[in-house]
Amino acid sequence: MMRINPLMFFRDPLRWIAGILLCAPLWLQSQTPVNTTITNAYHVSYRDIADIIVTLSSDTVSTLVGPGYTLGLSKWTDVSIVAPGDSLNYHFLLTNTGNTVADGISLIDTLGTQLGYIAADPAALVVGQVIRWENLTVAPGSSLELTLLTAVDDLLPAGTEITNMATAQSGTGPPLHSNTAGVIVDSRPDLRLVKSVDRDVGTLGDTLTYTLTLSNTGNVVSTANFLHDDLPDYVQVLDWTGAATLHGGVVSWNLGSLEAGASRSFFLMICGIPSSKTPTSLPFVLSIYL
């Protein structure tokens, strides 16, 4: 029977863990140039029985980066609400985040019975309700946008939802499906409100410029619109655009009407003032009243 001296473990612990497999997956960055050599080695340190730190290194391994492409496909519409008989424009965006050209791509969009084909850019092959683009090419790090103009059926009732999805195919790989783009058949306004700021980090006394954009993506005019921005008590309002009023820390715009498909933008300039209540970030509440 083999006898094991326990002191052997303290003198050379790696001898007793040699059977452990350690894995550390690494993510290769997109668009890493072809023929790039990636080298890597592991290092381990331990303290032996004499309290001496011992460092060991593995062999260096190398990997050669080959060519490849990674496709992405998204789809969206210009509006969220349509009326019977309206035209509806779809946008497609093919992206390539790989390091080589993606070519020979087919993009297929099958329209439902609620839609009819009008036009495509670039030109597409149309067979019934199937719209097909062939031999598309996307360079590495680039994108390709396509559009499809359709007509909404005249007899669709209010509340009908029209959903649509596209599919891309390249070579023998699996098909790539886009997100589902949907619209509602109705006659009403649909307001979208977006707020952005010109910097992510600022200090007290800095001037921050906010952009407020209100859009009507519906198909009917929106009337009696009021825009309100509630400001905290540790900021000072410097200026704004549009016919606004400031009262009790609230900046208000009386917008009146906003036509279908129209948008309006306003700018609001503020600066932070020293206060015991001043936080490290500035929250703002933006609201729209109809």
Would you say 263 and 255 are in contact if contact means Cβ atoms under 8 Å apart?
no
**pLDDT tens digit sequence for 110-169:** 999 999 999 999 999 999 999 999 999 999 999 999 999 999 998 888 899 999 999 999
pLDDT at 169: 94
pLDDT at 184: 94
pLDDT at 248: 84
Task: Give the residue numbers spanning the domain of 47.
Answer: 7-64
pLDDT at 284: 47
**How much is the pTM?**
0.62
pLDDT at 1: 45
Q: Which CATH number goes with the domain that contains 91?
A: 2.60.40.740
58 and 80 co-located in one domain? no
Ranges in the chain, pLDDT < 50: 1-11, 14-18, 276, 278, 282, 284-286, 288-290
87 and 181 co-located in one domain? yes
Where among 161, 185, 209 does a domain terminate?
A: 185
Tokens of 188: 């009403």
DSSP 8-state assignment for residue 179: P
Three-class SS string for 242-283?
CCEEEECCEEEEEEEEECCCCEEEEEEEEEECCCCCCCCCCC
Counted domains in the chain: 3
pLDDT at 27: 55
Token look-up 């509340």 returns 159
Residue 248 CB burial class (10 angstroms; 0-12, 13-18, ≥19) = exposed
